[in-house]
Amino acid sequence: MRQRLLPLLFLLLSPLSLWAWGVDGHRAIGKIAEHHLTRQARERVQQLLGTESLALVSTWPDEVRYYPEGKESAPWHYVNTASGLNHEQYLGALAAQTGPNAYNALQTQLAVLADKSKPQAQRLEALKYVVHIVGDIHQPLHAGHAEDKGGNDVKLKYRGRDTNLHSLWDSGLIEYQGLSYTEMARQYDCAVRRPEVRRLQATPPAEWLWESYQAADQIYREAPDGTDVNYNYFPAHAVLMRQRIEDAGVRLAGLLNGIFG
């Protein structure tokens, strides 16, 4: 029992930079996705999930990675590349990364999820990873620069406390707004219209990462190392944060509809 509790204790005491979008952000993405599933996809997803939901399983990959059975998944949560790349260069750099990263892990887990010959337990695990990774790659600093570890080495002060740029975007902004994940999902998803849903779901995951990479470039410029981030930061970036979470939920539903619908 003690051996099982030690990784959990480490998880609870770890910095928030390890949790993309935090618990509430990931669960809001799962909740938004549930709203955009077709009836057939919803039924088949629920057959895999049993008593759980997309919202609740969305944080499982962050929890399991601190145990031996999830240790290999640590690199599956981000894709770091060099700074200053244009669109063509970025897609080339993404394709050149053959090792474990969020983009490659997403392709692998989608294939497992779609393979009906795989055991149900394996497909359920793949579903959990798909839900989580889609959320991760929409967090701009999870497509950040390799030279500063996705913003982890960019030290800031936020609300009087020492933090870093990656952590600020993982959880700092979400916590600032003070909403539950159900409130976030309801507020964020209320304005999206069907043509926009179709447009979002038509773009491939490589483009989702490119969008995050572009957003990260702007975020880097606005808060270089040593910045004291003041009260204006949240209202200045709330629209971007909201858009990335909403896009992730809609696109997650598109992937699941394609597999199950």
pLDDT reported for residue 217:
96
CATH code (residue 169): 1.10.575.10
pLDDT reported for residue 66:
86
Q: Is 204 left (phi over 0), alpha (psi -120 to 50) or beta?
A: beta
pLDDT in tens, 213-243: 999 999 999 999 999 999 999 999 999 999 9
Question: Is the pLDDT score of 2 beyond 70?
Answer: no
Q: What is the pTM of this model?
A: 0.92
Does residue 6 form part of some domain?
A: no
Give residue 86's pLDDT band: very low, low, confident or very high (50, 70, 90): very high
Out of 68-77, 125-134, 244-253, which region has the weakest mean confidence (pLDDT)? 68-77
User: Alpha-carbon distance 10 to 18, whole Å?
Assistant: 11
Instruction: Give the chain's domain count.
Output: 1
With contact defined as beta carbons under 8 Å apart, do 98 and 210 qualify? no
Does residue 13 form part of some domain?
A: no
Residue with tokens 């969305």: 58
Instruction: Report, as an integer, the average pLDDT of 102-127.
Output: 98
Give residue 74's pLDDT band: very low, low, confident or very high (50, 70, 90): very high
Does residue 239 form part of some domain?
A: yes
With contact defined as beta carbons under 8 Å apart, do 22 and 174 qualify? yes
pLDDT reported for residue 9:
39
- Report how far Cα 68 is from the mean position of its chain's Cα atoms: 22
Does residue 2 form part of some domain?
A: no
Does residue 247 form part of some domain?
A: yes
3 state DSSP class of 206: helix
With contact defined as beta carbons under 8 Å apart, do 25 and 168 qualify? no
Question: Is the pLDDT score of 246 beyond 70?
Answer: yes
pLDDT reported for residue 70:
87
Does residue 8 form part of some domain?
A: no
Does residue 56 form part of some domain?
A: yes
Question: Is the pLDDT score of 16 beyond 50?
Answer: no
* Residue 38 domain boundaries: 22-260
Does residue 5 form part of some domain?
A: no
